[in-house]
Structure 1
Amino acid sequence: MSSSLNQRFTPWSLLKFAAPSIIMMMFMSLYTIVDGIFVSRFVGSNALSSINIVFPIINVAIAVATMLATGGNAIISRYLGENRPEKANACLTQFVCVTIGLSIVFLAFILTFTTPLSRFLGASDILLSDCNTYLRILGLFVPACMLQALFQSYLVTAGHPNFGLALTIGAGICNAVLDYVLIAVCGFGVAGAAIATCIGQCIPAVVGLIFFLLNKNGLHFTKFSFHKRELLQACYNGSSEMVSQLSMAIVTVLFNIVLMRIAGEHGVAAITILLYGEFLFNSFYLGFSIGIAPIVGFQYGAQDKVQLKRVYRIAFAFVMISSVILLGAAEGLSRPIITIFTDDPETFPLALTGFRLFSIGFLFSGFNITSSGFFTALSNGRVSAILSFCRTFIFTTICLIVLPHFLGINGAWIAVPIAEVFTLLVSLYMHQKYFIRSGKQNYFA
Structure 2
Amino acid sequence: MIMMVFTSIYGVVDGLFVSNFVGSTPFAAVNLVMPVLYFLSGPGYLLGTGGTAVVAATLGQKKRHLANGFFSSLIQTTAAAGIIVLILGQWMLQPALQLFGAQGTLLAESLHYGRIALLGVPFLMLQDAFQSFFAAAEKPRLGLEIIIAAGITNALLDALFIIVLDWGLTGAAAATVLGMAVGGLLPVLYFIRPNTSLLRLGRGIYSARILGRACLNGSSEMVNVAASSLVTFLYNYQLLKWAGPDGVAAYGVVMYLSFIFAAVYIGYAMGASPVIAYHLGAKNREELHNLFRRSMHILAAFSLTTFSITQLFASPLTALFVGYDQHLWDFTLQGMRWYSLAFLFSTFNYFGSAFFTALNNGLVSGLLAFVRTLVLEPLCIIIFPLLYGTTGIWAAFPIAEICTCLITVSTFYRLGSRYGYLH
State the TM-score, normalized to the length of structure 2.
Answer: 0.97
Aligned partner of 1:253 in structure 2 is 233
Residue 442 of structure 1 and its aligned partner are, at CA, apart by: 4.9
Extract unaligned runs of 5+ from structure 1.
1-21
Aligned partner of 1:424 in structure 2 is 405
2 CA distance for matches of 1:432 and 1:291? Answer: 23
User: Aligned to 2:306, which of 309, 318, 326?
Assistant: 326
2 CA distance for matches of 1:296 and 1:83? Answer: 16
Aligned partner of 2:207 in structure 1 is 227
Paired residue total: 421
Instruction: Give the letter for the 1:81 counterpart.
Output: G
Deviations 1:337-390 (A, max 9, x none): 100111212311110011001101101111111111111111111111122222
2 CA distance for matches of 1:66 and 1:411? Answer: 31
Question: Percent same amino acid among aligned pairs?
Answer: 35
Asked if the contact 2:220–2:366 (Cα under 8 Å) also holds between the matched residues in 1, the reply is yes
Instruction: Give the letter for the 1:28 counterpart.
Output: T
Aligned partner of 2:374 in structure 1 is 393
1 CA distance for matches of 2:302 and 2:34? Answer: 29
1 CA distance for matches of 2:201 and 2:84? Answer: 23
After superposition, residues 264-303 of structure 1 pair within 5 angstroms as: 264-303=244-283
Aligned partner of 1:363 in structure 2 is 344
Asked if the contact 2:292–2:421 (Cα under 8 Å) also holds between the matched residues in 1, the reply is no
Asked if the contact 1:306–1:444 (Cα under 8 Å) also holds between the matched residues in 2, the reply is no
2 CA distance for matches of 1:108 and 1:141? Answer: 12
State the TM-score, normalized to the length of structure 1.
Answer: 0.92
Aligned partner of 1:407 in structure 2 is 388
Residue 212 of structure 1 and its aligned partner are, at CA, apart by: 1.2
2 CA distance for matches of 1:336 and 1:89? Answer: 47
2 CA distance for matches of 1:249 and 1:299? Answer: 33
Q: Is structure 2 residue 22 aligned with structure 1 residue 24?
A: no
2 CA distance for matches of 1:327 and 1:349? Answer: 19
2 CA distance for matches of 1:141 and 1:357? Answer: 33
Residue 116 of structure 1 and its aligned partner are, at CA, apart by: 3.1
Q: Counterpart of 2:167 in 1: which secondary structure?
A: coil
Asked if the contact 2:285–2:419 (Cα under 8 Å) also holds between the matched residues in 1, the reply is no
Aligned partner of 2:287 in structure 1 is 307
Q: Is structure 2 residue 155 aligned with structure 1 residue 176?
A: yes
Q: Counterpart of 1:249 in 2: which secondary structure?
A: helix
Aligned partner of 1:66 in structure 2 is 45
2 CA distance for matches of 1:441 and 1:25? Answer: 28
Q: Counterpart of 1:408 in 2: which secondary structure?
A: helix
2 CA distance for matches of 1:112 and 1:414? Answer: 34
Instruction: Give the letter for the 2:284 counterpart.
Output: D
Asked if the contact 1:56–1:253 (Cα under 8 Å) also holds between the matched residues in 2, the reply is yes
Aligned partner of 2:243 in structure 1 is 263
Residue 186 of structure 1 and its aligned partner are, at CA, apart by: 1.4
Q: CA RMSD in A?
A: 1.4
Instruction: Give the letter for the 2:396 counterpart.
Output: A
Instruction: Give the letter for the 2:397 counterpart.
Output: V
Asked if the contact 2:290–2:421 (Cα under 8 Å) also holds between the matched residues in 1, the reply is no
Instruction: Give the letter for the 1:434 counterpart.
Output: L
Instruction: Give the letter for the 1:358 counterpart.
Output: Y
Aligned partner of 1:13 in structure 2 is none
Asked if the contact 1:45–1:266 (Cα under 8 Å) also holds between the matched residues in 2, the reply is yes
2 CA distance for matches of 1:397 and 1:412? Answer: 11
1 CA distance for matches of 2:189 and 2:233? Answer: 37
Q: Counterpart of 1:346 in 2: which secondary structure?
A: helix
2 CA distance for matches of 1:225 and 1:77? Answer: 16
Asked if the contact 1:74–1:293 (Cα under 8 Å) also holds between the matched residues in 2, the reply is yes
Residue 173 of structure 1 and its aligned partner are, at CA, apart by: 1.0
User: Aligned to 1:207, which of 186, 190, 193?
Assistant: 186
1 CA distance for matches of 2:309 and 2:164? Answer: 33
1 CA distance for matches of 2:74 and 2:381? Answer: 36
Q: Is structure 2 residue 353 aligned with structure 1 residue 372?
A: yes
Change (3 A) 1:114 1:61: closer
Q: Is structure 2 residue 107 aligned with structure 1 residue 154?
A: no
Asked if the contact 1:77–1:294 (Cα under 8 Å) also holds between the matched residues in 2, the reply is yes
Residue 113 of structure 1 and its aligned partner are, at CA, apart by: 4.5
Residue 422 of structure 1 and its aligned partner are, at CA, apart by: 0.2
2 CA distance for matches of 1:444 and 1:88? Answer: 29
2 CA distance for matches of 1:153 and 1:57? Answer: 22
Instruction: Give the letter for the 1:86 counterpart.
Output: H
Asked if the contact 2:31–2:252 (Cα under 8 Å) also holds between the matched residues in 1, the reply is yes
Where do 4+ consecutive residues of structure 1 move more than 6 Å? none
Q: Counterpart of 1:224 in 2: which secondary structure?
A: coil
Asked if the contact 1:364–1:421 (Cα under 8 Å) also holds between the matched residues in 2, the reply is yes
Instruction: Give the letter for the 2:384 counterpart.
Output: L
Instruction: Give the letter for the 2:190 counterpart.
Output: F
Instruction: Give the letter for the 2:38 counterpart.
Output: N
Extract unaligned runs of 5+ from structure 2.
none
Q: Is structure 2 residue 330 aligned with structure 1 residue 336?
A: no
Asked if the contact 1:305–1:444 (Cα under 8 Å) also holds between the matched residues in 2, the reply is no
User: Aligned to 1:42, which of 21, 24, 43?
Assistant: 21
Higher mean C-alpha deviation, range 314-323 or range 409-418: 314-323
Asked if the contact 1:151–1:204 (Cα under 8 Å) also holds between the matched residues in 2, the reply is no
Deviations 1:263-311 (A, max 9, x none): 1111111111111122111111110011111110100000010111111
User: Aligned to 2:76, which of 72, 78, 97?
Assistant: 97
Asked if the contact 1:54–1:121 (Cα under 8 Å) also holds between the matched residues in 2, the reply is no
Residue 123 of structure 1 and its aligned partner are, at CA, apart by: 1.7
Instruction: Give the letter for the 1:287 counterpart.
Output: G
Residue 132 of structure 1 and its aligned partner are, at CA, apart by: 1.1
2 CA distance for matches of 1:215 and 1:153? Answer: 20
Q: Counterpart of 1:127 in 2: which secondary structure?
A: helix
2 CA distance for matches of 1:233 and 1:111? Answer: 30
Aligned partner of 1:194 in structure 2 is 173
